Structure 1
Amino acid sequence: MKTEDFDKAFDEGSELIDDVVQWDKGHRPDLDTKRVNIDFPIWMINALDKEAARLGVTRQAIVKTWMAEKLDQTRR
């Protein structure tokens, strides 16, 4: 199947894709996690906690989201 045909089938929600894609062999690379320790100044922790509370999420979620956004920007 040509790329254009695949893209069109995907956009249309066609089940033809199931004949082409080996879903059981697919994986998302580099999603393993590794624990790291980072020392932040108290003012930064307080700011992170305030933003996390405002959004109703954890401090870790804020840090992960902001880090991912920044890394995404630097790759462009």
Structure 2
Amino acid sequence: MTETTSDTLIERFDAGEDVLDYFDESAAEREKPDPNETRQISLTLPSWLIEAYDAEARRRGIARKAVINTALVEWADNLRARLSA
């Protein structure tokens, strides 16, 4: 029997073999995402919504991106509050 290395484990996985027997599932931990990490996305929005964000940005004297970020954070906070209630 050949020694199991990370390379042979990857080969077995890629070949569709079950590799869970090589891991101690009781010691598995889920990596928690860093809440301060940022990622960039691209959005396609209807013109009327962009115009509304632009108007709000002008009113507040801030960038459109800041208005969108604020709106998304408020939405996520409201969703989190509803789900935890």
TM bucket, shorter chain: 0.5 to 0.7
- Corresponding position of 2:73: 68
Q: Let me know the Cα RMSD of the aligned residues.
A: 0.8
Distance 2:48 2:40 in 1: 23
Counterpart secondary structure, 1:73: helix
Q: Provide, for residues 39-69 of structure 1, a one-character-per-residue CA deviation record: whole Å limited to 9, x for no partner.
A: 0011111111011000001101001011101
Distance 2:56 2:72 in 1: 15
Equivalent residues in 2 for 1:1-76, closer than 5 Å:
29-76=34-81
Report the structure number with the largest CA radius of gyration: 2
Shift, 1:71, TM fit = 0.5
Distance 1:71 1:30 in 2: 13
Distance 1:74 1:32 in 2: 20
TM-score (norm 1): 0.60
Runs (4+) of structure 1 exceeding 2 A deviation are none
Matched length: 48
Gaps of 5+ in 1: 1-28
Distance 2:61 2:71 in 1: 15
TM-score (norm 2): 0.54
